[in-house]
Amino acid sequence: MKIWRLSTDRSVMSITTCSKNPELEKTTLKTSDSDFKGMPMLHRWESGLVLTRKKGRTKDIAHFDGLTVGFGSKTVQIVEPLLRGLVEFLPVQNNDAELCLVNTINVINALDLEKSDYSTFEGRLTYINEYAFKTDINYSNHPIFKISQDPGSFSLVTDEFRNLILSSKLKGFEFVELWDSESSEQMQNELEQKHRALIDFVDSLPGKRFNWDEAVKLIDSGEAVANGKWKLQINDKGNFILGQLEPNGEYFWIQPTYIPPTLLEKKWHIVEKSNE
């Protein structure tokens, strides 16, 4: 059995609540990505307008600000029997598609802290570098869930959910493998070696190295900077984002609320900007 991070590919539509039009701002959804922390919201939900930032080629799934996704009406109809009681489908208004934001309320203590590789700050889990999940949980009851240590993060899904999406030929879904219960130690070592090779390649790139203050100035001027598995840049909305290099060569991006102190001590070099 595998556990996957639910994500979207680059073909999907992108929706947002941000508007530079003051009049339009009055009707936009008042809920943001930071509100999705595994708690029920349907009982107090007030639908509002979400704006299309990019139309995309599919309406089966949409990327909302941050780590939240929206499902199209076709997708909701297909997955609702499997996900009943585990998520809330929160309807929103959009001129291009019929969408519901997905609020995963199934939060379980599934992360194996002894076998996972993670970072903390002031006792709070900040980043998970390598995932390991508890094996005494019946995951057939949890086709979608969030981990109790970080319920504000992305939704996780099992093979059952992924297979349903693939067999239904829904478009725009991306599943990033986080853990394989049947993976051998050799396979895990090979994955770690591949990841280390990618990090070493980034660190081997030529160019001047900059301290934190210098790096921030470069980022503000439109550059991207990197150190090892970490990458920093400004996204197309003008927000400061932090990326973590994954074994597949892609970066997983977040908009950090604070910067871990360890990053302030690193030396950074200019690299090509990524498409988040």
Interval 210-237: pLDDT, tens: 999 999 999 999 999 999 999 999 998 8
What confidence tier does 243 reach under pLDDT thresholds 50, 70, 90? very high
Q: Are residues 165 and 106 in the same domain?
A: yes
**pLDDT of res. 34:** 84
Angstrom distance (rounded) from CA 147 to CA 163? 21
Where a domain ends, among 153, 183, 213? 183
Final residue before a domain boundary, out of 159, 183, 207: 183
Specify the pLDDT at position 184.
46
User: Tokens 């991070």 sit at which residue?
Assistant: 5
- Based on the domain organization, do 17 and 79 belong to the same domain? yes
Phi, psi of 76 (to 5 degrees): -60, -45
Q: What is the pLDDT of residues 31-90, one digit of tens each?
A: 888 899 999 999 999 999 999 999 999 999 999 988 899 999 999 999 999 999 999 999
Q: Is residue 3 over pLDDT 60?
A: yes
Q: At 233, which helix (H) or strand (E)?
A: strand 230-234
DSSP for residue 250: P
Q: Is the pLDDT of residue 241 over 50?
A: yes
Per-position DSSP letters for 155-166, written without gaps between them: -EEEHHHHHHHH
| 276 within some domain | no
Tens-digit pLDDT profile for residues 174-190: 999 999 987 745 667 77
Token pair 């996204």: residue? 235
Q: Per the domain annotation, does 159 fall within a domain?
A: yes
Instruction: Give CA–CA dist 86/80, Å, rounded.
Output: 9
Residue 188 lies in a domain: no
Q: Indicate if 43 and 111 belong to the same structural domain.
A: yes
If asked whether residues 159 and 219 sit together in one domain, one would say: no
Domain extent, residue 223, equals 194-271
Kindly tell me the burial class for residue 228, based on how many C-beta atoms sit within 10 Å of its own C-beta (0-12, 13-18, 19 or more).
Answer: middle
In 38-123, DSSP assigns E strands to 51-54, 58-63, 69-72, 87-92, 99-104, 107-108, 117-121
My answer on whether 179 and 208 are in the same domain is: no
pTM above 0.75, yes or no: no
Which pLDDT value is given to residue 185?
Answer: 59
Please report whether residue 9 resides in a domain.
yes
Strands 12-16 and 51-54, by their bridges, are: antiparallel
d(CA 246, CA 230): 10
The mean per-residue pLDDT over the stretch 116-135 comes to 86
Q: Copy the structure tokens of residue 171.
A: 């478009």
CB atoms within 10 A of CB 103: 21
